[in-house]
Amino acid sequence: MTESATVTGSVTVRVPAKVNVQLAVGAARPDGFHDLANVFLAVGLYDEVTAVPADELTITCSGPDAAQVPLDRSNLAARAALALAERYGIEPAVHLHIAKDIPVAGGMAGGSADGAAALLACDALWSTGASREELLEICAELGSDVPFSLIGGAALGTGRGELLTPVETGGTFHWVFAVADGGLSTPVVFGEFDRLTAGTDVPEPAAAPALLDALASGDPVALAKTLSNDLQAAALSLRPSLAATLAAGTDAGALAALVSGSGPTTAFLVPDPETAHRVAAALTASGTCRTARVAVSPAPGATVV
Ligand code: ATP
């Protein structure tokens, strides 16, 4: 248990958003899931989850997108607390407050981030003694993106995306994220991918060696040439207006633009902080997005603060 937990009886965990620098999607499996080769990069936009002892499990949420966040047991933070409590035979008597800064339903794994953060916060509050491996196992049960939110940094996810291998990064990468109005449902985007690829030969997903080399070198120009997202066509098909956002960012000087995960957030890789601020201002002025956020990567995973 941390010092702050002992003094105040509460634990706060900070957790980053993610961008997929590569998202390779295989054909739908018989169970409906898709095999993925998913290169995750944690980016410095953060939610904070605070766990406080309470009579029963309750959730509150603050932040600009708070109204879109469910406050019942479907919230991934609640599910994480329940999963941990059940495994260790603990009463899930905890209040979770989510200070939300990660765009909701934006393809940046905000819900997954809150799941990982709540798990770590409750683990510290209840002193379960769970190993890192046990926590990662619970994360994988909660969702494909949750284990990465716990570890952060950069990693290759295979299987449904939940089997993680850390990936080397040789420097700081600068990003701008254009947040769209309204979300896109991840299952609906995968459904559109299935529709668009029906009858075609979908290759086995594999990480691109050139992309891994670019991450290791820390060279944004090399990384820009290798970014890819197999869900981009599906996201654009469902939300054609994203094409104008992508164009506005590249016109303003981004090295590369892509849909973040299942969208509708779009991600722009830029060479330096000055360009990041110029691209963010141009995106905001273009009227093609709700807001633009500047962030750096890689960022650390879920951390008790
Ligand atoms: P991913 O990138 O992992 O596909 P996402 O970033 O597109 O996810 P989320 O912000 O995780 O999307 O939210 C998707 C949906 O999950 C929301 O519309 C909401 O109904 C539900 N949800 C459950 N728990 C949370 C949470 N803690 N924060 C936000 N949304 C949550």
Indicate the helix (H) or strand (E) that contains 223.
Answer: helix 220-226
CB 45 within 8 A of CB 287: no
Please tell me the predicted confidence (pLDDT) of residue 44: 97
CA 110 to ligand 1 center in whole angstroms? 6
Please tell me the predicted confidence (pLDDT) of residue 3: 38
CA distances to 13, 242, 305 from 202, in Å: 40, 24, 44
Q: Name the residue of 186, 189, 231, 265 to mutate for ligand 1: max ligand atoms within 8 A of Cβ.
A: 186
**Predicted confidence pLDDT, tens digits, the chain (305 residues):** 433 344 358 999 999 999 999 999 999 889 888 999 999 999 999 999 999 999 999 999 999 999 999 999 999 999 999 999 999 999 999 999 999 999 988 889 999 999 999 999 999 999 999 999 999 999 999 998 999 999 999 999 988 777 899 999 999 999 999 999 888 998 999 999 999 999 999 999 999 999 999 999 999 999 999 999 999 999 999 999 999 999 999 999 999 999 999 999 999 999 999 999 999 999 999 999 999 999 999 999 999 99
Ligand 1, CB cutoff 6 Å, lining residues: 68-70, 74-77, 98, 104-112, 114, 145, 183, 186, 261-262
Q: Report cis status (omega within 30 of 0) of the bond before 298.
A: yes
Please tell me the predicted confidence (pLDDT) of residue 5: 40
One DSSP character per residue, 12-77 reads EEEEEEEEEEEEEEEEEPTTS-EEEEEEEEEEEEEEEEEEEE-SS-EEEEESTTGGGS--STTSHH
Please tell me the predicted confidence (pLDDT) of residue 1: 40
Angle between helix 76-88 and 132-142 (nearest 10): 130
In the structure encoding, which two tokens stand for residue 85, read together? 């409590």
Please tell me the predicted confidence (pLDDT) of residue 8: 53
Residue nearest to atom 24 of ligand 1 (CA): 75
Q: Name the residue of 69, 72, 74 to mutate for ligand 1: max ligand atoms within 8 A of Cβ.
A: 69
Q: What share of the chain is helix, strand, coil (3-state, %, to 5)?
A: 40, 30, 35
- C-alpha 119/C-alpha 101 separation (Å) is 19
CA 109 to ligand 1 center in whole angstroms? 7
| pTM > 0.85 | yes
Residues carrying an active site annotation: 18, 145
Angle between helix 242-251 and 273-286 (nearest 10): 140
Residue nearest to atom 12 of ligand 1 (CA): 105
